[in-house]
Amino acid sequence: MSIPLKKLADLEKLRVANRYVALTLEYLRDFSKVGMTLKEINQAGEDFIFNELKARPSFKGLYGFPAGVCTSLNEVIIHGIPTETKVKEGDILGLDIGVEYEGWYGDAAISLGMGKVSETNEKLIECAKNTLLNSISEIEVGMRFKELSAILEKHIRSYGFVPLKNFCGHGIGQKPHEEPEIPNYVEHGSLKSGPKIKNGMVFCLEPMICQENQIPKILDDKWSVVSEDGLFGSHYEHTVAVFDNKVEILSVV
């Protein structure tokens, strides 16, 4: 496994791309309302990236994905395609966005409770968000990525939920997806095996939360990922950089 190491000049470009992601997510957090269609929300995100930021929504066309924003509603945990479906009171709306700027990529995601949501849905959103932030706070240079996966899983399970299988965080840079893969769980091997976290690494962490069943199911649209139990899920993501023995969240305003 070859994990690219970034230079300080690279980091500056990555900061811009990820700040643009964060600005778009903040814009959509305010824009998205009950009664809107997923297509309307996607179009607003694409227009903001193109027209306000003068950048490119990098998910559009990536591996054939048809939109700039993954709009994942309720039981759809990740990779939801924007449709004419309207957002309702009590829904969980996941928004996952990538931006490319001058050849460098940013990536982040949030889950929103639309209007008044149930206690379970509030807990699902809180689990994804706090798992992400708490796990980032525990990153250290020299730690194995498997140790980080174990930390992510521990936080998820502390809420009584489980991580989605077969999908993971990833490296990022001049490609939207680079090595390493970073699952939210540990399946095989010692925690002291596999690659270590080093200065110069930039990667995305993205806890994907299921209520009971970890096994994913891809819907007929060939993109939307749900749990086999069909229950609501949640998803949060940040891009982080490790430089000078410090961890910086890049996907913030």
Q: From residue 42, how far is each of 54, 77, 109, 115, 190 by CA, in Å?
A: 17, 17, 13, 19, 42
* Confidence (pLDDT) at 243: 98
> For residue 139, is pLDDT > 80?
yes
- Both structure tokens of 184: 């939210």
Q: How many CA atoms lie within 13 A of 120 on its CB side?
A: 13
* pLDDT higher than threshold 90 for residue 189: no
Tell whether residue 244 is among the known ligand binding residues: no
Question: How far is the CA of 109 from the CAs of 10, 22, 34, 206, 245, in angstroms?
Answer: 22, 9, 19, 8, 25
Residue 216's pLDDT is what? 98
CB 42 within 8 A of CB 60: no
Determine if residue 79 is labeled as part of a ligand binding site. Answer: yes
Q: What is the pLDDT of residue 224?
A: 98
What is the residue-wise DSSP string for 1-35?
A: -------HHHHHHHHHHHHHHHHHHHHHHHH--TT
**Does the pLDDT of residue 1 top 80, yes or no?**
no
Distance from the Cα of residue 41 to its chain's centroid: 18
Domains and CATH numbers, the chain: 8-249 (3.90.230.10)
Q: Supply the mean pLDDT for the chain.
A: 97
Closest C-alpha to 71, from 63, 59, 62: 59
Reply yes or no on whether the pLDDT at 44 is more than 90: yes
- Angle subtended at Cα 95 by Cα 197 and Cα 212, rounded to the nearest 5 degrees: 75
Does the pLDDT of residue 188 top 90, yes or no?
no
Q: How much is the CA Rg of the chain, to the nearest whole Å? A: 17
**pLDDT of 133 strictly over 70:** yes
Query: Shortest CA distance to 72 belongs to which of 177, 226, 183?
Result: 226
Is 10 flagged in the annotation as binding? Answer: no
Contacts of 188 (CB under 8 A, 6+ apart): none
Alpha carbons within 13 A on the beta-carbon side of 170: 15
Over range 228-245, report the average pLDDT: 98
170 marked ligand binding residue: yes
| Nearest residue to 17 via CA among 98, 122, 138 | 98
The 10s digit of each residue's pLDDT in 54-109 is 999 999 999 999 999 999 999 999 999 999 999 999 999 999 999 999 999 999 99
Residue 177 known to bind ligand: yes
Neighbours of 118 (CB within 10 A): 12
**Known binder of ligand: residue 107?**
yes
238 assigned ligand-binding residue:
no
Average pLDDT value for residue range 142-151: 98
Give CA–CA dist 27/181, Å, rounded. 29
Asked if pLDDT for residue 174 goes beyond 70, the answer is yes
The predicted model gives 226-249 an average pLDDT of 98
Mean pLDDT of 167-189: 96
Say which DSSP state 160 is in.
T
pLDDT in tens, 103-131: 999 999 999 999 999 999 999 999 999 99
pLDDT confidence of residue 38: 98
Question: Does residue 161 register a pLDDT over 70?
Answer: yes
pLDDT band at 2 (very low <50, low <70, confident <90, very high): confident
Q: What confidence tens digit (pLDDT) does each residue in 197-236 have?
A: 999 999 999 999 999 999 999 999 999 999 999 999 999 9
